[in-house]
Amino acid sequence: MFTFLPAPASASTAKAGPGAISWGACDDLPARTPDLECGTLTVPLDHGKPDGDTVGIPLVRAKATGNRAGSLLMHFGGNGAHRSEFAAAYTALASLRTRYDIVAYDQRGSGGDSQVKCGSDRAVDRLYSLTAGLKRASERRRFFQEAEAFTQACAKNSGRILPHLGAAENARDIERLRAALGDEKLNYYGLSFGSVVGGVYATLYPGKVGRMVLDAPLDTHQTPADLAKNSVRYVQQTYEQFLAACVKGGCDLGKTTKAANHTVERLVKRLKHTPLKVGNRELGSVLAVNGLGQMAVPGLWAEVESALASAVKGDGRALLRLADAAVGRTDNGVYSPYGGARSLMASIGTYCHDRGRETPKGLVRVDAELTRISPLFGPLAVFSAPNNSSVAACAFWPVPAGTEGRTVDHTGTTPIVVVDSTGDVVAPPSGAALMAARLRTAVRVTYQGTAHGAYVAGIPCVADAVEGYLLKGILPADGSTCPPV
């Protein structure tokens, strides 16, 4: 059963808002595409002081190809969301472009003059050279010193922006963007952390919600440790699938999954004590596990298997290339501003702003819990270079945690579609249930399979529900389910 809702306000009837945007070529994106336009929106650094200092929010849009119904803002997740992610994927959104200008933006902290910077490329290299799974007190003390020095560098280089990150400030940026685009209501798709931003927006601006879809919602009240456990479970699950596929196809790492896992664990343990020389660099255990982490992309499984097999034989070049790709490092030692370690600096800033904190003593406990979940990947969530679930970085973050970005309480009347997947361990269905309850007007669509973001994963049944609502205003029935594919 479906419910029909009115069409979104067209641009011709919506009044132009403040903060005009001048659109032009996207010269700063890695993939330049003629039908993409870029611009910058100027917003207050502190929305509580609208006449004070400002920051620029870089934007990108793909204009509607058909009868335009307004703009659709898309946030593809990650606490350091960047336009480059949209530029690489927008061609898959052809159906949405028949009705909307699709707009994406650099979340504050991730681009433009608000980009969080936490030290030199050499300093980031030094962090990635640290070994994971530190058990000795002396090793942990050294790591604590490095982690604290890193966060203090964030404060030194980006102290102006650090107090003004988080979901609530992003929601206020979005409200400014909606007005500048001339849309009467905000039409929005948010994935993962993007769903949190959408939920907070609906709380702050209930009367401005248009057609909104929140995919793979996170529980806004979970601590960094809770979220790290979800992430580690997801990576461990994928790793086990990778090993099973490797063995099924004839695996160079072992004839059974147990044997293949033993080979990988033995390699990582060896690299912790004796890194492989690769030119003038070294492949240690942290970088090796980052390279292994590329198996999160099934299309790279064969490449990851080959790289691991080569490293076992003493050649670390291929595995180091995979690790560099994972952290956004080029061969000349420069970290790209698009993704990788650089975007994770923004990610950590936003992540730590909205969440609780662990003490150094608590980090030791969390490390033990995560290591039980995954001996390979668990330690990287605490004792390693800052990453997307970096519990340690938040422990030493130089700005107090806020609470506004954890609050979702929608009092409006506009329905909001919430999508979740039963097999999503990063954003478990429990988070979607809590988000839906707090939104009050939510209708929930559940994919009975494994995906983190069922719409962007291309699940046909989910796509029908999401696009039916965004394009035609056809609201799916609450509690709808989609079978696994």
For the chain, the structural domain boundaries read 3-114+163-222+410-482, 121-146+226-395
Per-residue pLDDT, 79: 54
What pLDDT score does 141 carry? Answer: 82
Q: At what angle do helices 121-129 and 137-158 cross, to 10 degrees?
A: 160
Answer yes or no: is pLDDT of 185 > 90. yes
Tens-digit pLDDT profile for residues 67-88: 999 999 999 887 556 677 777 6
pLDDT class of 404 with cuts at 50, 70, 90: confident
pLDDT band at 110 (very low <50, low <70, confident <90, very high): confident
Q: Given the DSSP bridges, would you call strands 186-191 and 71-75 parallel, antiparallel or unpaired?
A: parallel
CATH of domain 3-114+163-222+410-482: 3.40.50.1820
Provide DSSP, 183-242: -SSEEEEEETHHHHHHHHHHHH-GGGEEEEEEES---TT--HHHHHHHHHHHHHHHHHHH
Q: How far is CA 71 from the centre of its chain?
A: 23
Eight-class DSSP state of 30: S
Residue type for position 231: S
Nearest CA to 445 among 475, 485, 401, 408? 475
Q: Which amino acid, 446?
A: T
Cα separation, 152 vs 398, whole angstroms: 7
> In this predicted model, what pLDDT tens digit does every residue of 320-360 receive, in sequence order?
999 988 877 877 667 766 555 556 677 777 878 887 788 87
Residue 66: is its pLDDT beyond 90?
Answer: yes
DSSP assignment, residue 280? T
